[in-house]
Amino acid sequence: MDTFIRIRSVDEVGELAALAGWLRAERELQGAVRVVRRNIETTDLGSGLDVVSVAVGSGGVGVALAQSLSAWLRTRRSDVKVTVTANGRTVELDARRVKDPVDLITLITRVLGGDDAIES
């Protein structure tokens, strides 16, 4: 299953690249992280980076992703919003509102696991 992570911020490309690098540095996620590029139209300004995709399967990759994403969000100094989509569900996380990393990890893990208690 692929999990897609989209970023909204003033520097979306920079933040997306930073997140991809952060996730790739995690031992449990190595080889599972890729940056998905969209087709660039002639009227577009920018790089065409769209989302970070993480292949999540068995073996605790989902938990590793949740923990790593939670830690990355806590390091952000700017206004960053992250949208995580998996299993047909979506959750938006705001870096400025990260107070309890355990709650954040639980929320992300539930989205990755397809828990029916989460509303998309």
pLDDT at residue 21 in the model: 94
What confidence score (pLDDT) does residue 58 get?
65
Contact 70, 101 (CB under 8 A): yes
Q: Rounded CA gap, 17 and 72, in Å?
A: 12
Q: How far apart are CA 72 and CA 60, in angstroms?
A: 18
pLDDT at 33: 92
> Could you tell me which of 66, 34, 64, 73 has the C-alpha nearest to residue 51?
34
Listed as ranges, residues in the chain with pLDDT below 70 are: 38-49, 58-59, 97-101, 114-120
pLDDT digits (tens, 9 = 90+) for 28-53: 998 899 888 765 555 555 555 678 88
Helix (H, G, I), strand (E, B) or coil at 1: coil
pTM, full prediction:
0.78
Report the CATH fold assignment for 2-38+48-113.
Answer: Alpha-Beta Plaits (3.30.70)
Cβ neighbourhood burial of 102 (10 Å; 0-12, 13-18, 19+): exposed
